[in-house]
Homo-oligomer: A and B are copies of this chain.
Amino acid sequence: MKHKGKTNPPGRQKIIEALTRLMWTNDFNSVTTAEIAESAGVTEGLIYKYFNSKKDLLYRVLNDLFAQFNETILERITGKSSAIEKLEVIICSSIEYYAANRVFARILLLEVRNSQEYFNSEAYERVRAYAHNILVIINEGIGSGEIKPDADPLILRKIILGAIEHACVGEIIFSRDLDAPSVTQSISTIIFNGAKA
C-alpha cells in the first residue's frame, strides 16, 4: 500500500537525508536507489512507499530546502522600505544561500529543469512564489518612483534572476568560493546604474 503523506516517519526522513548527503559528492543521475537505501539504512522498497519515483524524491528534497530558503529571504526583507534595498537583500541572500548550501543550488539550478514533471511539483510552486515576490517589489519600486517607469518589470526580473544564477552557477559547478556581498555590490551597481559610461 502507498503512504498517505500525512506524517513524516523516520524512514522517510532518513531517505531524504541520504539523498541530500549523497548529492554532496555525486550528481543526481549517478546516485542509485540502492545507494540511497543503503545510506539511509532502509530497504529500496521503502523509497517507493513514500515517493512516487526517484525524481519525486529529488523534488521533495528541493521543496524542503526551498522552504527554508524562502523563510530566510522573507525574514531579511521585512523592515526594509526601499524597493531597491529589498532587491539587493534578495540578490545577496540568494547568493549567500547558494554558496552555503551547494546541494540546494545544484538541484535548483542544474538538476531539475530538464524534466517537465518538475514544473508540476510543489517545489516549483515555491520557486514561482519567490519569483512573484521579486516582481511585486519591482512594481512597488516603479510605483514609488525608485525604478524607471519604462523598465519592463518582467525583463528586469529576468535580468536579476539571471544575474544571480549566472553569478553562482560556475562557482557551484567548479566548487569555487563565492563572496556574496562583493558580487551583489557589482551586480547591483550595473543593473541599477547601468554599464554605459
A residues at B contact (CB < 8 Å)? 27-30, 84, 106, 110-111, 113-116, 119, 145-149, 151-152, 155-156, 158-159, 161-167, 169, 173-174, 183, 186-187, 189-197
Whether A190 touches B146, Cβ cut-off 8 Å, given contacts A113-B173, A115-B29, is no
Output the least CB separation between A161 and chain B (Å): 5
Residues of chain B contacted by A116 (CB below 8 angstroms): 27
CA separation between A161 and B196, bound complex, in Å? Answer: 17
Among B29, B163, B167, B190, point to the contact of A151 (Cβ < 8 A). Answer: B190
The secondary structure that dominates the A interface is helix
Output the least CB separation between A36 and chain B (Å): 17
Among B30, B114, B158, B190, point to the contact of A156 (Cβ < 8 A). Answer: B190
CA separation between A100 and B22, bound complex, in Å? Answer: 38
Query: Can you list 25 A-B pairs, Cβ within 8 angstroms, ordered by A?
Result: A27-B115, A29-B114, A110-B113, A111-B114, A113-B173, A145-B197, A147-B196, A147-B197, A148-B197, A149-B197, A151-B189, A151-B190, A151-B195, A155-B167, A155-B183, A155-B190, A156-B190, A159-B190, A159-B191, A162-B164, A162-B167, A165-B165, A190-B194, A191-B195, A194-B194
CA separation between A151 and B155, bound complex, in Å? Answer: 21
Decide if B192 touches A191 in the complex (CB within 8 Å).
no
CA separation between A146 and B196, bound complex, in Å? Answer: 6
Residues of chain B contacted by A162 (CB below 8 angstroms): 159, 161-167
Among B111, B145, B147, B164, point to the contact of A195 (Cβ < 8 A). Answer: B147
Residues of chain B contacted by A106 (CB below 8 angstroms): 114
CA separation between A183 and B155, bound complex, in Å? Answer: 8
Beta-carbon nearest neighbor of A186 in chain B: B155
CA separation between A84 and B196, bound complex, in Å? Answer: 8
Among B30, B152, B166, B174, point to the contact of A159 (Cβ < 8 A). Answer: B166
Residues of chain B contacted by A115 (CB below 8 angstroms): 27, 29-30
